[in-house]
Amino acid sequence: MVHEKNGSPAAAWIARFAQPMAHARTGEAPGFALPLAGLRFAVKDNIDVAGVPTTAACPAFDRLPPVHAAVVQRLLEAGATLAGKTNLDQFACGLNGTRSPYGEVPNAFDARYVSGGSSSGSAYVVAAGEVDFALGTDTAGSGRVPAGLNNIVGLKPSRGLLSTFGVVPAAQSADCVSIFARTVATAVDVLLACAGHDARDPYSRDLALRREPLPAHFRFGVPDRLSFFGDTAAELAFNDATARLRAMGGSPVTIAYAPLAEAAALLYESALVAERYAAVREFFDAHGDVVIEPVRGILESGRSYTAADVFKAQARLRAIAQKVEPMWRDIDVLLVPTAPTHYTREQMRADPVVLNRNLGAYTNFVNLLDYAALSVPSSLRADGLPFGITLIGPCGSDLALADLGQRYHHATGLAQGALGVPLPAPRAIPGLAAPGAGTLAIAVVGAHLSGMPLNGQLAERGATLLRTTATSPAYRLHALPGTVPPKPGLRRVAEGEGGAAIALEVWAVPLAQVGSFLALVPPPLGLGSVELADGSWVKGFICEGHALAGAQDVSSHGGWRAYIASL
């Protein structure tokens, strides 16, 4: 096919198959239904398809893989048919879709504008209805920015949930295979068909996904400083998004964005960029002159760092992760604009580095800090361009994010992609339990917290962590004397007695295991009800009043973990 430089839709494809590729099937029982039967998909051309060249948008790189990438193999086995391979910013270095010798991929709503990248072609072909879903990759936002700019869903899984075997690395420790679809439900179907540990991928993990949805009254974090780079339409669209989440039962909580921005900056402004060079080092050292700018400059910059520089940058990233971890005690989900503005392709050509960086203002930190993320359409602006939001949660929160994201997407009233076709009815998210189904939510404040001496009693019973939060500011925490291991006593106080918010965790304990768990709890502790910071109540440990006489009040530490650390 012809790939035009002027932003023709043809530029979305690098290889479009005359005959879609399907998995050969033998021995299946009559009537057996495969989960993705009837769905067509495309893959970004840094993902291997057996017998088809993988170019990573660099013709000279061209490799002919003998086997499929793990995710491609699993999708074919699940019944989907592969339509072809899509264009990308070369070596997945970019967030705009203009950095490819195969042409600039246009925005599906207005060809004057960028599609977003680096998974530009994958997003376009989904938005335009040429396939039902597509795979991209995401290291710094490449599976989210194009989704937000094209009115589709972009699911960035928890790192290691989908195998990257057979994927040309960008920065391997942060890379994720991402999913584009026109509905959240389709994206989740694809996620579950692909997920699973793969020993061929050094970063693959056997992750236990959170099975509980977010609470009905959830708290969503909003950065304390947001820049839309002068784009008033985007700012208004984000304000509308926060109002919609409020109407859905959310309460906004302002969070400090500075440490997240600092983490994001490390990806390109520290020795971590050396990982991008390492990903294609052998090819780049021999053929660097054929790599287009500014990709060549990005890869070239990675050569100058030493191993000591890399270790220093990694330690700084870990320090930032420790600093921001308490954020999740105050919020259930983080809300950001997927992309803070739109740029024309002409603007991007004139200032390719700064404008590209602006598109990733709220995406770069996610993979580095090991979070899950879901971009969902939010609105069409007055100028007709799409605006998307991204919901971010801790590692393993993929299904809970999908549940909230699907509810949000359907609340917008938007059509699918650029098709003008209404959204289908929402579907239950597979694998996500109905709130509280088969479990009892129990709040723990002391030795049963994650990493504390008695947490194993929860793990042994198959309990799962629902969320980290705090009590309402109506409690005092006391260190009980003579307990082994040391345990606290939680006491609710009357208004005016100087209560405090005490850090806690809420665990879902299978109902069949509640009795054996409570049998391990010695007096003076017992099971009662505890009010949480959002005003909801759950079962939790409280202490008999007589045992608190003479016990040290440690409420000033804000929680048992902080008190133990101070000893």
Predicted local confidence at residue 361, as pLDDT: 96
CA proximity to 405, closest of 154, 177, 189, 190: 154
| Candidates 100, 115, 118, 119; catalytic one | 118
Quick one: average pLDDT of 27-39?
Answer: 73
227: CB partners within 8 A, 6+ apart: 340, 361
Quick one: average pLDDT of 127-156?
Answer: 98
Burial level of 111, CB count in 10 A (0-12/13-18/19+)? middle
Residues in the chain: 567
| Residue 174 pLDDT greater than 70, yes or no | yes
Per-residue confidence band for 1, with pLDDT thresholds at 50, 70 and 90: very low
Tokens 């056997």, located at residue: 206
| Residue 114 pLDDT greater than 60, yes or no | yes
| Candidates 115, 119, 122, 142; catalytic one | 142
Tokens 């170019």, located at residue: 55
| Residue 484 pLDDT greater than 80, yes or no | yes
Q: Which domains does the chain have, with CATH numbers?
A: 9-22+35-422 (3.90.1300.10), 439-566 (3.10.490.10)
**pLDDT per residue over 390-437, tens digit each?**
999 999 999 999 999 999 999 999 999 999 999 999 999 988 876 556
Alpha carbon separation from 282 to 286, 332, 470 (Å, rounded): 7, 43, 51
CA angle 299, 302, 308 (to 5 degrees): 165
Per-residue confidence band for 170, with pLDDT thresholds at 50, 70 and 90: very high
| Residue 535 pLDDT greater than 90, yes or no | no
**Residue 554: what are its φ and ψ, rounded to 5°?**
-115, 20
Per-residue confidence band for 138, with pLDDT thresholds at 50, 70 and 90: very high
Mean pLDDT, the chain, rounded, equals 93
Quick one: average pLDDT of 347-355?
Answer: 97
Quick one: average pLDDT of 60-76?
Answer: 96
| Residue 560 pLDDT greater than 60, yes or no | yes
516 as an active site residue: the answer is no
Quick one: average pLDDT of 89-118?
Answer: 97
**pLDDT per residue over 194-236, tens digit each?**
999 999 999 999 888 988 899 888 999 999 999 999 999 999 9
118 as an active site residue: the answer is yes
**pLDDT per residue over 143-165, tens digit each?**
999 999 999 999 999 999 999 99
Distance (Å, rounded) from C-alpha 479 to C-alpha 292?
63
Predicted local confidence at residue 267, as pLDDT: 85
Quick one: average pLDDT of 82-109?
Answer: 97
Nearest-Å Rg of the Cα atoms of the chain is: 25
| Residue 96 pLDDT greater than 60, yes or no | yes
Sign of CA dihedral 167, 172, 173, 175: negative
**pLDDT per residue over 434-480, tens digit each?**
655 678 889 999 999 988 899 889 888 878 787 788 999 999 999 99
| Candidates 44, 85, 156, 487; catalytic one | 44
CA angle 482, 488, 491 (to 5 degrees): 125
142 as an active site residue: the answer is yes
- Other beta carbons within 10 angstroms of residue 556's beta carbon come to 11
Predicted local confidence at residue 3, as pLDDT: 36
Predicted local confidence at residue 320, as pLDDT: 96
Quick one: average pLDDT of 530-547?
Answer: 87
Predicted local confidence at residue 554, as pLDDT: 94
Predicted local confidence at residue 482, as pLDDT: 85
Judged by DSSP in three states, 399 sits in helix
Contact 113, 123 (CB under 8 A): no
Predicted local confidence at residue 241, as pLDDT: 98
| Ramachandran assignment for 462, one of left (phi > 0), alpha (psi -120 to 50 degrees), beta (any other) | left
Give all strands of the β-sheet with 475-479 in edge-to-edge order: 488-492, 475-479, 552-553
CA proximity to 151, closest of 430, 424, 423, 427: 423
E-strand stretches of 120-237: 133-138, 153-156, 176-181, 218-223
Distance (Å, rounded) from C-alpha 184 to C-alpha 359?
23
Report the percentage of the chain scoring pLDDT > 90.
78
**pLDDT per residue over 491-505, tens digit each?**
999 888 889 999 999
